[in-house]
Amino acid sequence: MLDIRKIRSALLSVFYKDGLDEIAQYLSNNGVKIYSTGGTLSFIEGLGVEAQSVESLTGYPSILGGRVKTLHPKVFGGILARRDNPDDCAQLKQYEIPAVDLVIVDLYPFEDTLASGASNAEVIEKIDVGGISLIRAAAKNYGDVAVVASRAQYAELLAMLKENGCATTLANRKYLAAQAFNVSSHYDTAIFSYLNRSERIPSLKQSLHGAKELRYGENPHQKAAFYGSLSDMFEQLHGKEISYNNLLDIDAAVSLMGEFSEPTFAILKHNNACGAASRPTLLQAWAAALAGDPVSAFGGVLVCNRELDRETAEEVNKLFCEVVIAPAYSPESLAILKQKKNRIILAAKTFELPAMQSRTLLNGVAQQERDLAMEAEESMTFATDAKPTAEQVQDLIFANKLVKHSKSNAIVLAKDRQLIASGVGQTSRVDALRHAVEKAGSFGFSLQGAVMASDAFFPFPDCVEIAHKVGVTAVIQPGGSVNDRQSADYCNANGVAMVTTGVRHFKH
């Protein structure tokens, strides 16, 4: 195969015409024979560029409401014929099939139609058949044929053609073929995922465009990339590039903040909240969140669920932090926060996190539903004679939200809807509690009247005993241990209110 292939004929069949005019003009100016279909043909002819309809080439009209236009040997023969194969070339001549050197396709917008909320019938009609077939044929025969499978590549193609004098190199064609299969595989994955919503075929397929190379992974010696579109979730208003570790903390931050409706501020470090509080105003919430652990807050990720105002920004600006996330910022607050040139400032958009979570494990991938359970007052079961007060119920709900989003084993101590201290990521629950108690004391907090939340049941009554002795008066936990009665008996004997939820919140 020769490396250079002059473009003498091209087939253009696209849904979106934006950007096609310059390519059509360039091809025409270089004497390229253009074949086209339907609306694309009308668009090209409207430019004053000569083109031949595919119908006149095949001798068949477009049928079935446009479902069949290009599916014909006179089209696919010209694309798939190997130019260095004498038998292929002889058959082209025998059946009067013109060779096609360039195929440009832009598929029906299946994903856009699906995202618009269109009916099933409308979505199905946007499954491209002819276009995807043209892409696969041209990409398979990249030794001789160049293919463009998306309008996103129009400019790149034009630059290639101009550089090579309306020709392509083998390297060009192989690259374009790889891009074409990238487009077609993504397209098919989207269709499969749509149809499999109801069929539940046990097959995991995921296709994400737009890989962003990150500076490094968790550590400098690890390479990393992010696949996805952060711009759909956030607008970055200021700061350096987001790192791998930043992404982990941002994910944890937005997941946690999604639990709260009242004005709330949280500070996260290594995916766990080290400070959190709900208050009538954002400024009050910030002050209470920071007070929970002003040491760990250094270099943390900050998240809130109200527009960040000037007064709050002035206080936030006193702390070195990696990331600030808010739904909006007043002009004054943004100017204040931008004083630190590397501080990442994100404006959160309205979004939904994926319903399924995936993680690579061993030689495969494990997938689970996102933990969307969150227990309200009506789902609590009183496990003791003493019942929590209305204020304690609010604190228990607050603490349970935090412990749900903390690494297991986890214990959260809270009071007046403020995180007093937590013990997270411990190998035993009692160690998690002891760590939380020690931490609360180191920052001068009294645990008298505090509540305790546990992400899983207490295997023994030691946790409620330790908690009671430092002042905890109400406890929330899933329950389910064979020793639940022992924990309840201790609480009954010491006037501690305990509720169970029946829902465990392990997080690993």
381: left (phi over 0), alpha (psi -120 to 50) or beta: beta
- Distance, in Å, from the CA atom of 445 to the CA atom of 292, rounded to the nearest integer, reads 9
Q: Assign 45 to helix, strand or coil.
A: helix
Amino acid at 276: A
Q: Which of 72, 140, 174, 238 is catalytic?
A: 140
Burial group, residue 491, by CB count within 10 angstroms (0-12, 13-18, 19+): buried
- Distance, in Å, from the CA atom of 356 to the CA atom of 131, rounded to the nearest integer, reads 31
Task: Report how far apart, in Å, the C-alpha atoms of 300 and of each of 285, 286, 288, 323 are.
Answer: 16, 13, 16, 7
Amino acid at 332: E
In eight-state DSSP terms, residue 240 is S
**Would you tell me how many other CB atoms lie within 10 Å of the CB of residue 322?**
22
Annotation marks residue 468 as catalytic: no
- Distance, in Å, from the CA atom of 457 to the CA atom of 429, rounded to the nearest integer, reads 9
Tally: H helices and E strands in the chain: 18, 23
Annotation marks residue 505 as catalytic: no
Q: Which of 174, 270, 340, 435 is catalytic?
A: 270
**Would you tell me how many other CB atoms lie within 10 Å of the CB of residue 244?**
17
Catalytic center residues: 140, 270
